[in-house]
Amino acid sequence: MDTAATEARKITAAADSRSDIAAGREYLTFTLGAEEYGVDILKVQEIRGYDAVTRIPDAPDFIKGVINLRGTIVPVVDMRLKFKLGKAEYNEFTVMIILNIARRVVGMVVDGVSDVLQLTAEQIRPAPEFGGAVNTRYITGLGALDQRMLILVDIEKLMSGADMALMDAQAQSLQ
């Protein structure tokens, strides 16, 4: 593949990302431990209490299993385990966020849902660079609100990563 064409695509994608941020976006914020995260509200289908899931043999630990959501089989990812934030404990505040990603429905388990916030370009800082030590490819930036800091997650990139194996090649090509 032509490296100039690849670079041009990267620059175009970065410019598109900046123009989206400049317009302001709404994020559903959720907690994992002491940290707050945000995902694009347009990707959220619904928010539900945590239900028991059916485990799938030989699945990675962070893929909790599947649920039957009104006739649709939905894979469920525990974000605390995915982000390696320690043991997941499920209580009355544990929430499942149902997402629509590339025409696929996916559930993610979080400690709790906080708010829906609109962030302007001035409130969003670029994702930090850690070199190869930390994988930040799915972090779009950091949202600064008063004394709060939100980690903004590109949920499509995260859920369509090779380690997740939740999106098939056809769904990924539609993105």
Q: Flag whether pLDDT at 3 surpasses 80.
A: no
Of 40, 36, 37, 35, nearest to 17 by C-alpha is: 40
CA distance 59 to 42: 28
Q: Is residue 140 domain-resident?
A: yes
Q: Is residue 128 domain-resident?
A: no
Q: Is residue 41 domain-resident?
A: yes
- Asked whether the beta carbons of 26 and 117 are under 8 A apart, the reply is yes
The pairing of beta strand 139-145 with beta strand 148-153: antiparallel
| pLDDT tens digits, 16-36 | 444 444 457 899 999 999 899
Q: Is residue 53 domain-resident?
A: yes
Q: Is residue 127 domain-resident?
A: no
| pLDDT tens digits, 38-72 | 999 999 999 999 988 999 999 999 999 999 999 99
**Choice between 9 and 31, residue whose per-residue pLDDT is larger:** 31
Estimate to the nearest angstrom the gap between the alpha carbon of 74 and the chain centroid.
16
Q: Where are the alpha helices (DSSP H) in 24-154?
A: 79-82
Which pLDDT does position 133 carry in this prediction? 55
Q: Which amino acid is at 48?
A: R
Cα–Cα distance list, 92 to 60, 96, 110, 137 (Å):
25, 11, 12, 32
**What total number of domains does the chain contain?**
1
Beta bridge partners of 83: none
Cα–Cα distance list, 99 to 102, 103, 114, 167 (Å):
10, 10, 16, 13
Residue numbers of the domain that contains 7: 3-121+136-173
CA distance 69 to 100: 13
Q: Is residue 155 domain-resident?
A: yes
Q: Is residue 148 domain-resident?
A: yes
> CATH number for the domain including 34?
2.40.50.180
